[in-house]
Amino acid sequence: MSAVVDSGHRPFNPQLAAVRIIGSAMVAFGVFLSGFVISEPAPYELMLVVQIAIWFLLGLKISRAVAPLLILLLVFNIGGMLSLTVMADMSGGPMYIAVSLFLALTSVFYAAIIEDGHQRLKLIFQAWVAGATITSILGILGYFHAFPGAEVFTLYDRAKGAFQDPNVFGPYLVAPALYLMYRLLSDSLARSPLYVAGLLVLVLGIFLSFSRAAWGLFLFSALALVIVMLLKERTAAFRLKIFTLSIAAVLLLMLAIGGAMQSKKVSDLFLNRAKLVQEYDGARLGRFERHKIGFLMAMERPLGLGPMVLGKMFGEDEHNVWLKSLTTYGWLGFVAYVTLIWATLIIGFRALLRERPWQPYLMIAWIVLAGHALIGNVIDLDHWRHMYLLFGVIWGCHALEWRFQREKHRLA
């Protein structure tokens, strides 16, 4: 808490230290709850509302390095507010934008608390792994009907864990899976069995979500992680370790997925979902045609159509984050969102390989966000809680780097 920000020049204050520990534990618990969004408002929202209020009341600062994130998200949501003015029926619209504002605030909050103490990054990712592992286990047990009532953790014969939608559940598991991959490739071999067990649970959850976007996101992210680590660690011994463990991990995952495929139910659904273009994608008024119609409509409406209006018109949502930003947040929101994505990728890329205590977390968040930007062409990322967490992590690491460089120049 930034009464809470200890510059290092103050004497040790045990009360202040205790407050910081409690505050960090609350942050970790909030991230853990992000894996359980089976109904709304979810415990995650309630926890974050309380946390954000307490932290800022106690003096948490928004630095100049984090301010662009706040500005871009505010402009994005102003576009959403303007879109409400063109709606004939505003039912649900104001609440939708209210949720958007709240999620924007969580992103700024995460960035600020990470800048306040980079040690929280480890807590955040460990809590994310814990929440993801439990919700993945629920999805797996639900898929195989392991206990009475387990089907509550599935939807349309697809695992969804403690989420409302398999298409959000699957991508949510990718960053924690990448964190375990990183630990597997960089830590001592003695801990490998623990990382492998956790990774198998998460990958099986991703697989049983039968989300093509999640599959593609995980494959892209895993490959990108190995490439970035090979670029960062140039010693022959480390590269041999990465190569050996990567091959072993791939073989183990193939065996696990192969075992799951022995079930006819699993194999049939996999063969159906593995098609690049589904019938509802290419059919008349299917996903791709709705994209075309939606973009043409958005070009004629600078203020947008309003939240959920396109979905009501065609019976299906946009399934494209760029189109979603145009229809729901107007031209202003679209420009702000595209700027936010590119700005976040650029600031993250600039510090991606610098040797810093926060570099591994920045690397994982940057890779997964880049993957989300790609799958955003076929899926709607708006209101994905973990997406805003990724923004917060990258901008928080950017703020840490900014402070590091300022201190370096001051001492030079």
- Report how far residue 69's alpha carbon sits from residue 66's, in angstroms, rounded to the nearest whole number: 6
List C-alpha distances in Å: 152 to 39, 160, 164, 173: 12, 9, 10, 19
Each residue of 297-315: pLDDT tens digit? 888 899 989 898 887 877 7
pLDDT of residue 236: 79
Domain extent at residue 166: 14-276+295-411
pLDDT for residue 256 is more than 60? yes
List C-alpha distances in Å: 130 to 28, 30, 272, 308: 10, 12, 31, 33
Mean pLDDT (the chain, rounded): 87
- Which residue's entry shows tokens 């660690």? 233
DSSP 8: S
In a domain, 399, yes or no: yes
In a domain, 94, yes or no: yes
In a domain, 374, yes or no: yes
pLDDT for residue 284 is more than 70? no
3 — pLDDT class (breaks 50, 70, 90): very low
pLDDT of residue 287: 63
pLDDT, average across residues 38-55: 88
pLDDT for residue 4 is more than 70? no
DSSP 112: H
In a domain, 3, yes or no: no
- Percentage, residues of the chain above pLDDT 70: 90
Return the higher-pLDDT residue of 257 and 342. 342
Return the higher-pLDDT residue of 243 and 117. 117
Output the pTM of the full model.
0.90
pLDDT of residue 8: 42
In a domain, 289, yes or no: no
Task: Please name which of 129, 249, 125 lies closest in space to residue 192, comparing C-alpha atoms.
Answer: 249
Query: What is the number of domains present in the chain?
Result: 1
In a domain, 1, yes or no: no
In a domain, 281, yes or no: no
344 close to 351: Cβ distance less than 8 angstroms: no
Torsion, Cα of 143, 144, 146, 147 (10° steps): 50
